[in-house]
Chain A
Amino acid sequence: MDAIVLLRDGLAAALTPGNLLWAFCGVLLGTAVGVLPGMGSAMAVALLLPVTFQMDPTSAFILFAGVYYGGMFGGATTSILLNTPGQASSIATTYEGHRMALGGRAPQALGTAVIGSFVASIIGTLVVALFAPTMVDFALKFGPGEYFALTVFSFVAVAAVVSGSVLRGVASLLIGLAIGLVGIDGQSGAPRFDFGSPVLLDGIDIVIVTVGLLALGEVLHVAARGRNAPDLASIRAGKPWLKRRDVRRSLPAWLRGTALGTAFGPIPGSGAEIPTFLSLGAERRLAKRREQRGGGESEFGKGAIEGVAGPEAANNGSAAGSLVPLLGLGLPTSATAAIMLAAFQQYGLQPGPVLFERNGDLVWTLLASLLIGSVLLLVINLPFAPLWARLLKLPKPYLYAGITLFSVLAVYAINASVVHLVMLIGVALLAFVMRHFGVPVAPALIGVVLGPIAESELRRALAASAGDLSILVDSGISLTLYALVLIAAFIPLVSRVRRLRAERRERETTGAGTS
């Protein structure tokens, strides 16, 4: 009860007309930056940090909260409309979201994303406010061994985004892992796969891979298909509001996504990618199971609204969850959290176990401003969803030329390096070859994002145990995760074998007559 009273006081401090104006500006700015490919909320917050030096802490936090949520929604917007996610955490949204847009349901996809973000931020922030100490305890239990188990679990979630051949999915994942190997090895400092280029020592930036594989790869793929390509301009905006059926299907997905995001957000280093992919996988499985029970056809692969609602909620839930280690331990678990930490220090706040006691009022103000930010996001962006969807009405040559221009810009903005642009062209060509041969690019992205984490956690665990492999399985958390991996790998296998048997029987009986 204490927490609720404190949160109310925080809200009272934060809710002034001036602060609301800051939140409004923040959401608009964040959405604008988030819409650019390769630029996510971390970039938006970083760009604004110097501006806030002049502001009082409360206004600054409110501005940050607005930018943060706006940036995440901006990323979802481009994922859905253009198949070009602005940041790693909106990759999971692209699969079903873009298919919904191609099917003329872009406003619904945007609507479910914005409401899902809202639901997740409200619930996530409240959960953080009420349970922060307990969550800190849980997060501290994650050592390298547990963390490696978590990444292995996420690799299995790859199965969630592969609809066709398992073999091609695995090939794509391995290519991603190989790309992730480039650069200085974080554990030993040895240069790997640098081919004598100093730029490659820093590794291949995730922005290059995302923009190349998804945005430019898409441009080349559409160009290659000529007149067979889906015509974006013919997408009709359709009715802007969610139908009751959409809400009924989104609601459980929002809640499941929120739970996943809030649970994984506090785990150091996990970021938002793992929960978004886990959520996408979970929704896909659930839809399939519902179909098997005869409860309505699974729309996955054709634009399922659950596949947008879940990951977007997970994304925002984990953003709230990542505040737990940030405030409770002073440990940033994502790029944005790291920038927020810098902002805290600027105001003389020292995040850590005593923060709640020493600077309680500011912490509660921050939590309150997150609530305000998410309400404003809903208010501002829900009416605009159909408007954003009209972006697709631009003439096709200009639309794709614009995507190309911003893709190049996003990569050049990393470090003003022309070598990065050469790498971008290489990755785009790889993506084009993969798309042409029907190899899914999603697993490659997962490999690039999570591969380095998996490797460093594995080697850190083994270094701690002096090479004893039993450290990987000596805790309840790891064992549970590996058990889930085995179950997740085993269930589709059994059902596939069963289905093939049934298919063969059918072919033997019907095929004899026709051929």
Chain B
Amino acid sequence: MTNRQNPAQPDDSAETAETAEPPPTAGDADATEPPAAAPAPDADPTPDAEAAHDPETAPWTGRTAWVFPGLVALFGAVAVWGALTIEAPPHSPPPGPGVVPGIVGALLLLVAARMVFVNLRVARRIREGAQAPGAPGVDWPPVGIIVLTLAVHVALLEPLGWLLSGALLFWGVAYAFGARTWVRDAVVSLSMSAAVQVGFSLGLGLNLPGGVLELVL
């Protein structure tokens, strides 16, 4: 049992060392005090304001702080559910197909719990008057356009064919990134898509769906 859990060992020992540390300077980078513009223990403190906000070390605050712990918990719950419901075929050797999912799921739940704990600690410190760090906002419109374009592309790929849906994808993403020269964008999109289709079908023998154009030609 001990050996099987070895992958997690560095983490486990890190946890214990962390909690052994007295609260004011908790050992985890998650808990670095918000106001100190806190650089990670191993990142160099730079005077540059842009570099000071490193998303990998900034603590999570506000309501969105619970999104990621929730996601981790969801993964963990699904893995544990799988471990309990996977049916091992008869005569399979001792460590069955559910053992490793069980371990992974349990560790995921453990990590989620730890994240919740860190979040609570950060929230308490902010309530006590520490300044909440400003997180960079998300520019939602371009992200939404790209995801929507991808979804439309996937939906139309087989009925419409690669040439048109590929061009649509290229144009949609370019638009999201601020391309507004309509004619040039359309020409570039269509020629990229066509080049890919020709190059791959002729050169590499990969068949991309022809779609409606197949019916016309």
Q: Out of A406, A454, A469, name the residue touching B7 (CB < 8 Å).
A: A454
- Residue of B82, B87, B176 near A193 (CB, 8 A) is B82
**How would you classify the secondary structure of chain B's contact residues: helix, strand, loop or mixed?**
helix
Among the listed A164, A178, A220, A395, which residue makes an inter-chain contact with B40, where contact means beta carbons less than 8 Å apart? A164
If over half of A's interface residues share one DSSP class (helix, strand or loop), that class is named, otherwise mixed; here it is helix
Measured between beta carbons, the chain A residues less than 8 angstroms from B89 are 188-190
B173 and chain A: residue at smallest CB distance: A401
Tell whether, in the assembled complex, residue B44 and residue A297 are in contact, meaning their CB atoms are under 8 Å apart: yes
Name the CB-closest residue of A to B57.
A164
Q: Give Cα A401–Cα B24 distance, bound, in whole angstroms.
A: 48
Q: Is A192 an interface residue (CB 8 A)?
A: yes
From the candidates B3, B78, B154, B204, name the one contacting A472 in the complex (CB within 8 A).
Answer: B3
Please name all residues of chain A whose beta carbon is closer than 8 Å to the beta carbon of B75 when the two chains form the complex.
174-175, 178
Check if B154 sits within 8 Å of A422, measured CB to CB: yes
Closest A residue to B178 by beta carbon equals A397
A409 touches B196 (CB 8 A): yes
B21 touches A400 (CB 8 A): no
Q: Which residue of B lies closest to A223 (CB)?
A: B142
Inside 8 A of A223's CB, which chain B residues have their CB? 139, 142-143, 146, 176-177
Nearest Cβ on chain A to B173's Cβ, whole angstroms: 4
- Chain B residues 26-42 with CB under 8 Å of chain A are 27-30, 40-42
Contacting residues, chain A, for B11 (C-beta < 8 A): 166-167, 170
Nearest residue (CB) in A for B71 is: A433
Instruction: Check B157 for interface membership: any CB of A closer than 8 A.
Output: yes
A401-B170, A402-B192, A433-B71 known; A178-B104 Cβ under 8 A: yes
What A residues does B157 contact at CB under 8 A? 412, 418, 421
Residue pair A171, B177 in contact (C-beta under 8 Å): no
Given A397-B174, A404-B173, CB of A489 within 8 Å of CB of B207: no
1/0 contact trace for B66-109 toward A, CB 8 Å? 01100110011011001000111100111111011100110110
* Smallest CB separation, A2 vs chain B (Å): 42
**B176 and A188 contact, CB distance less than 8 A:** no
Find chain A residues with CB under 8 A from B28 CB.
165-167
B94 touches A466 (CB 8 A): yes
With a 10 A CB-CB cut-off, give which of B43, B78, B112, B143 has the most chain A CB atoms: B143
Inside 8 A of A177's CB, which chain B residues have their CB?
A: 104
Whether A405 sits at the interface, judged by CB under 8 Å, is yes
Q: Which residues of the other chain, A, contact B6 by a CB distance below 8 angstroms?
A: 152, 482, 485
Chain A contacts for B115, CB-based, 8 A? 167, 171
Contact A193 B68 (CB under 8 A): no
A440 nearest in chain B by CB position: B56
Are B95 and A219 within 8 A (Cβ)?
A: no
Are B13 and A489 interface neighbours, CB within 8 A?
A: yes
* CB atoms of B96 and A188 under 8 A apart: yes
With A397-B177, A489-B10 known as contacts, the answer to whether A473 contacts B3 (CB < 8 A) is yes
Question: Which residues on the A side are within 8 Å of B17 (C-beta)?
Answer: 493, 497
B21 partner, pick from A297, A439, A500, beta carbons under 8 A: A500
B197 and chain A: residue at smallest CB distance: A409
A270 to B28, CA, bound (A): 33
B136 touches A228 (CB 8 A): yes
Q: Do A190 and B10 contact each other (CB < 8 Å), given the known contacts A165-B57, A167-B30, A171-B72?
A: no
Q: What is the CA–CA distance of A288 and B43 in the complex, to the nearest angstrom?
A: 11
Contacting pair B24 A462 (CB below 8 A):
no
User: Does B147 count as interface, using CB distance less than 8 angstroms?
Assistant: yes
Query: Is residue B9 contacting chain A, with contact meaning CB distance below 8 A?
Result: yes
Tell me the A213-263 residues at the B interface (CB within 8 Å). Answer: 216, 219-220, 223-226, 228
* Contacting pair B30 A401 (CB below 8 A): no
A187-B97 contact in complex given A152-B7, A167-B111, A223-B177, C-beta closer than 8 Å? yes
Complex: A190 Cα to B93 Cα, angstroms: 12
Give the chain B neighbours of A488 by CB distance below 8 A.
Answer: 10
Cα–Cα distance between A466 and B94 once the two chains are bound (Å)? 7
Kindly state the separation between the CA atoms of A409 and B162 in the bound complex, as whole angstroms: 10
Set of chain B residues within 8 Å of A193, measured between Cβ atoms: 78, 82, 101
| CA distance in complex: A479, B30 (Å) | 33
Nearest B residue (CB) for A486 = B9
Please state if B174 and A401 are interface contacts (CB–CB under 8 Å). Answer: yes
Contact of A288 among B42, B71, B76, B179 (CB under 8 A): B42
> A461 CB to closest chain B CB, in angstroms?
9
Question: Which residues of chain A have C-beta atoms less than 8 A from B175's C-beta?
Answer: 397
* Residue B114 lies at the interface, judged by CB distance under 8 Å to chain A: yes
B14 interface contact, C-beta 8 A: yes
Smallest beta-carbon distance B80→chain A, Å: 10
The interface bits of chain A over 161-184 (1 if a CB of B lies within 8 angstroms of the residue's CB, else 0) are 011111110110011011001000
Which residues does B use to contact A, with CB under 8 Å?
1-4, 6-11, 13-14, 17, 21, 24-25, 27-30, 40-44, 54-58, 60, 67-68, 71-72, 75-76, 78-79, 82, 86-89, 92-97, 99-101, 104-105, 107-108, 111-112, 114-115, 118, 136, 138-140, 142-143, 146-147, 150-151, 153-154, 157-158, 166, 169-179, 185, 188-189, 192-193, 196, 200, 204-209
What 3 pairs between A and B have smallest CB-CB spacing?
A164-B56, A438-B55, A489-B10
Identify 11 residue pairs between A and B in the complex whose beta-carbon atoms are under 8 Å apart, listed by A's number.
Answer: A164-B54, A165-B29, A171-B111, A188-B97, A190-B89, A190-B96, A223-B177, A397-B178, A437-B68, A485-B6, A489-B13
Additional A-B contact list (4), CB under 8 Å, known A178-B79, A469-B1: A404-B169, A437-B67, A440-B56, A459-B93
